């Protein structure tokens, strides 16, 4: 996935940069996320990657990702006000929603769903407004 902060404080997680992302690309993305957190400013993540985007991850890749998120968890909780997942017009299955709720609880911010980028953006702006108001 690509991190697009051109509309900060709305930060978009764009679909996979390449089906065969290299280790360097993953580390670059992690570096981008760390740089985002280093700003010490509130933001909302909007993700448009597919539900099955991570199906081909190896156990090692999943472990590395889990360790990375564990390392940044406190800063994510402090600065990320929420995650809005663009699910398209075919809603995610209930298992994916349960997993999202578990992630939400573990990370400490809300996870919402929207059918398209426009509605996801509106939800993201509402989260930002709720926090600033």
| 51/45 Cα distance (integer angstroms) | 16
- Determine how many CB atoms are found less than 10 A away from the CB of residue 9: 20
Q: 66: which 2 tokens?
A: 């889990």
pLDDT of amino acid 130: 93
Residue among 91, 109, 82 at smallest CA distance from 10: 82
Residue 94's pLDDT is 80
CB 111 within 8 A of CB 103: yes
In the chain, where the domains are located: 2-132
What is the structure's pLDDT at 65? 83
Angle at 127 between CA 108 and CA 16, to 5 degrees: 70
Q: In the prediction, which pLDDT does 23 show?
A: 61
Whole-number pLDDT of residue 29: 80
For CA atoms 127, 128, 132, 133, the dihedral sign is: negative
Reading the chain (133 residues) residue by residue, the pLDDT tens digits are 688 999 999 999 887 555 555 566 666 888 999 999 999 999 999 998 655 555 567 898 889 888 988 899 899 999 999 999 998 877 777 877 787 778 777 777 889 999 999 999 999 999 999 998 7
Please state the φ and ψ torsions of residue 22, each to the nearest 5 degrees.
Answer: -80, 165
Contact between 111 and 100 under an 8 Å Cβ cutoff? The reply is yes
In this prediction, residue 92 carries a pLDDT of 75
Q: What is the pLDDT of residue 75?
A: 94
Bridge partners of residue 39, in order along the sequence: none
């Amino acid at each position: 996935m690509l991190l697009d902060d051109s509309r900060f404080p709305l930060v978009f997680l764009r679909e996979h940069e390449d089906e065969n992302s290299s280790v360097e690309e993953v580390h670059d993305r992690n570096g981008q996320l760390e740089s985002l957190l280093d700003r010490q400013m509130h933001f909302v993540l909007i993700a448009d990657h597919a539900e099955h985007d991570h199906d081909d991850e190896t156990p090692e890749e999943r472990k590395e990702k889990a360790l990375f998120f564990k390392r940044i968890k406190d800063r994510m909780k402090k600065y990320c006000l929420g995650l809005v997942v663009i699910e398209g017009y075919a809603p995610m299955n209930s298992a994916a929603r349960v997993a999202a709720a578990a992630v939400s609880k573990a990370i400490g911010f809300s996870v919402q769903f929207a059918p398209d980028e426009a509605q996801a953006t509106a939800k993201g702006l509402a989260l930002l407004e709720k926090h600033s108001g």
